[in-house]
Structure 1
Amino acid sequence: MTLAAEGLFWSAGGAAILTDVSLDVRPGEFLGIIGPNGSGKTSLMALLSGIRRPLAGTVRLDGQPLSAHGRQAVARRIAFVEQQAETTERITARQAVELGRTPHLGALTPWSRADDAIVERALEAVDMAHFSGRLWHTLSGGERQRLHIARALAQQAPILLLDEPTNHLDIGHQIGLLQLVREQELTVVAALHDLNHAAMFCDRIAVMQGGRIVALGTPARVLEPERLHDVFGVTVEVERDSAGGCFIRYRRPDPRPAKLKLVAEAR
């Protein structure tokens, strides 16, 4: 199962959000998308998922334009966890995960015991089985986020798109969730804020800046101090290990003289 973007353009309110974005996602890889706020990560994920259609360019699924596939067919192949996915319905945690089975149901394929088993495994995978009877509106942000992941796993699509999947999660669940996703036999594209998470879990990383992809490659090649300073405005040291991995150590910014002067005057 392949997913590719060719020359994508997207704008909103008269401002260009994405410009000439092209990207090939390799089957079975974990591809990270990083970049500062406003760089176009969320818009790119929406176009790759088919939620939005590009104003120019094409998204291809198995070589065919995404628009040529029916919505149900796309949902069987691509699961998307949005950054701000919510519901106002009074549903339980289990019912929220059951929605992931919708693309596989129809007049000739009603709900079955197999669907029950898939939902139960998805709940257990994200450590939410004990919350299955809780109403959605009573759950914390982190609990809801884990259920969104469970719903995507229950969808059993070979391609998983995640937009900031670790939002609202504590550090233990952040790493555990990314490890869980990494262990699945899936093609994964994830927009990530934490650069060390990208370094730990991604096979390749695409760096976005100003609505364009400015770098694409392995974490060790992409996460360079000069590039991170240019894109994010931070000073870092990148530690590399013998296995080819890397870890980013942030340096505290130098004090600003003007700010120090204001503090002194306030005293």
Structure 2
Amino acid sequence: MSLKAETVSWSAGGRLIVDAVDLEVMPQEFLGIIGPNGSGKTSLISLLAGIRPPKSGIVSLEGHPLAKSTRRDIAQRIALVEQQAETTERITARQAVELGRTPHLGALSPWSGRDTDIVARALDHVGMSDFADRMWHTLSGGERQRLHIARALAQQPQILLLDEPTNHLDIHHQIGLLELVRGQPLTVVAALHDLNHAAVFCDRIAVMDRGRIVALGTPTEILTEERILAVFGVAATVEHDEDGSCFVRYRRPRPKLHLISDTMKRHDHAR
């Protein structure tokens, strides 16, 4: 299932946050969105999810504008895992995941054994089956994040949108979660901070800077030393393996000469 943004813009507080973005997500691909803080990644994810209506332009699903679809229709096809999605309700881990079944329930389709099985599989996928009866407020940030992923999987979407999904997770669970998502028969769009995660798991990468997509392509096309320096202001070496993959190795910034001089002066004065 394809998802497309056509000249999409969105602003807040009089400032343009997403600026005339054109982007087509291909069926079954894992598309990563990278960029510095404030570049518009989260806002673009929200627009693609239909949470926010664009100021201008169109977001469409299989050629049908999201603006003409109901929230229920969208939720049956698109699942969103946000950065900060919390609840003050006293619910268990299992009940949090059960919320993913809401778009599929109704007067003519009440909760059934099939829904129970779907929730159980989702909990198992993220390694949280043993936590199913724990209360939400007793769980760590990483455990809650894994449950958000489980809730999205229980939703049985065709498109999964993730906004920095590895936040609060240790490195083992970061890799495990992205590998899990990569293995699903889904179209995936994920805003990612870690460039090496993008290199390993993404089919294509879109680079955002100041609200615009400034580059789009495969990881090896996108993750170049010149682009990393231009967009992130970080010096890096990009290593390429024989299998076509790449790895970003960051370099320590060189101390500024005036800082070294000031430090030496203070040291001499102390003597």
Q: TM-score, with normalisation over the residues of structure 1? A: 0.98
Amino acid at match of 1:178: L
**How does 1:163-242 map onto structure 2 within 5 Å?**
163-242=163-242
Amino acid at match of 2:153: L
Counterpart for residue 33 of structure 1? 33
Alpha-carbon spacing, 1:266–1:82, altered in 2? closer, same or farther (3 Å): farther
| Two-structure CA RMSD over aligned residues (Å) | 0.9
**Superposition deviation, residue 28 in structure 1:** 0.2
Structure 1 stretches of 5 or more lacking a match? none
In structure 1, how many angstroms separate the alpha carbons of the residues matched to 2:260 and 2:50? 49
In structure 2, how many angstroms separate the alpha carbons of the residues matched to 1:145 and 1:46? 18
| Number of residue pairs matched by the alignment | 267
State the percentage of identical aligned residues: 68
In structure 2, how many angstroms separate the alpha carbons of the residues matched to 1:93 and 1:257? 54
Amino acid at match of 2:48: L
Counterpart for residue 55 of structure 1? 55
Q: Residues 156-207 of structure 1: CA distance to partner in whole angstroms, max 9, x if unpaired?
A: 0010000000000000000000000000000000000000000000000000
In structure 2, how many angstroms separate the alpha carbons of the residues matched to 1:99 and 1:263? 57
In structure 1, how many angstroms separate the alpha carbons of the residues matched to 2:132 and 2:82? 21
In structure 2, how many angstroms separate the alpha carbons of the residues matched to 1:19 and 1:244? 32
**How does 1:9-24 map onto structure 2 within 5 Å?**
9-24=9-24
Counterpart for residue 152 of structure 1? 152
Counterpart for residue 259 of structure 2? 259
Counterpart for residue 65 of structure 1? 65
In structure 2, how many angstroms separate the alpha carbons of the residues matched to 1:52 and 1:125? 30
Matched, 1:4 2:4: yes
Counterpart for residue 126 of structure 2? 126
**Superposition deviation, residue 262 in structure 1:** 4.2
**Superposition deviation, residue 263 in structure 1:** 3.7
Q: Residues 117-144 of structure 1: CA distance to partner in whole angstroms, max 9, x if unpaired?
A: 1001100111111111111111110000
Counterpart for residue 45 of structure 2? 45
**Superposition deviation, residue 69 in structure 1:** 1.1
Q: TM-score, with normalisation over the residues of structure 2? A: 0.97
Name the SS for the 1:253 alignment partner: coil
In structure 2, how many angstroms separate the alpha carbons of the residues matched to 1:201 and 1:122? 21
In structure 2, how many angstroms separate the alpha carbons of the residues matched to 1:220 and 1:141? 33
Counterpart for residue 247 of structure 2? 247
**Superposition deviation, residue 266 in structure 1:** 5.1
Amino acid at match of 1:9: S
